[in-house]
Structure 1
Amino acid sequence: MMDLSLSRPDEIVKMLCDRLRNERLSQQMTQADVAARAGVGVNTVSNLESGKNVGFENVIRVAMVLGRLSELEELFKPKVDSLDDILRYESSLKRQRIRKKTDDA
């Protein structure tokens, strides 16, 4: 596992694009196969593999085709290490507005 905390965003994008391409190839699928099954264009898959901006929904579609949704599910999963964390998370599910901090100095 690579430590991403010391990586630049462009390095992380390149690594994830390489992993995506390798996953597709390991499943012996062409870009056209993935595109057809995901309901996107071949250019979208190509752009995704080369790190060009692609809509997040398209990333999800490709992940679904490659059977990698569980990894996406983990992406922004709340960190709950204790009962207090669980209660805090559940209370935050109610819609809230974040108040702007004011400078009272």
Structure 2
Amino acid sequence: MLDFGFATADEIARELARRLKAARLFQGMQQPELAARAGVSVGTVKALENKGQSTIASLIRVVHALGLTDDLQNAFVLRVHSIKDMEKAEQAERKRAPRRSRGTSDAGHPAKQ
């Protein structure tokens, strides 16, 4: 199984696509049937399964049509391990990220002048 912590974005997309295809095949469903259940085109299902390309909305529709919505429940849940993390989590509810000081670049290094 692919370790997402060491994978590129493209590798993760292909792995998720492979897993969705395996789930569809396990359920004995053909691509047109999945597309109809998900309310997307067959081309969308093919692009998702073959290239790992999809909009988030289409991905969620396909996941829902496959009955895998519960698998999304813990995706991107903020994990808090300390009091400092709790404080940061509370601040994360802000609408924007904090501004960078004028003396640093986007990468956090001193800006070139």
CA positional deviation for 1:24: 0.3
Q: CA RMSD in A?
A: 2.2
Q: Deviations over 1:27-85 (max 9, x none)?
A: 11111111111111111001100125321100000011112122223221101234553
Check 1:85–1:97 CA distance in 2 against 1; reply closer, same or farther (3 A cut): closer
TM-score by length of 2: 0.76
Q: Which moved more, 1:85-94 or 1:51-60?
A: 85-94
Counterparts of 2:88 and 2:15, CA distance in 1 = 34
Counterparts of 2:96 and 2:7, CA distance in 1 = 33
Q: Which amino acid aligns with 1:70?
A: D
TM-score by length of 1: 0.81
Q: Which moved more, 1:75-84 or 1:41-50?
A: 75-84
Counterparts of 1:82 and 1:97, CA distance in 2 = 21
5 Å-filtered alignment, 1:1-105, equals 1-82=1-82, 84-103=84-103
Check 1:52–1:92 CA distance in 2 against 1; reply closer, same or farther (3 A cut): closer
Q: Is the 8 A contact 2:63 2:69 kept in 1?
A: yes
User: Structure 1: which 5+ residue stretches go unaligned?
Assistant: none
Counterparts of 1:10 and 1:84, CA distance in 2 = 33
Q: What percent of counterpart residues are identical?
A: 34
CA positional deviation for 1:86: 3.7
* 1:75 partner SS: coil
Q: Which amino acid aligns with 2:22?
A: N
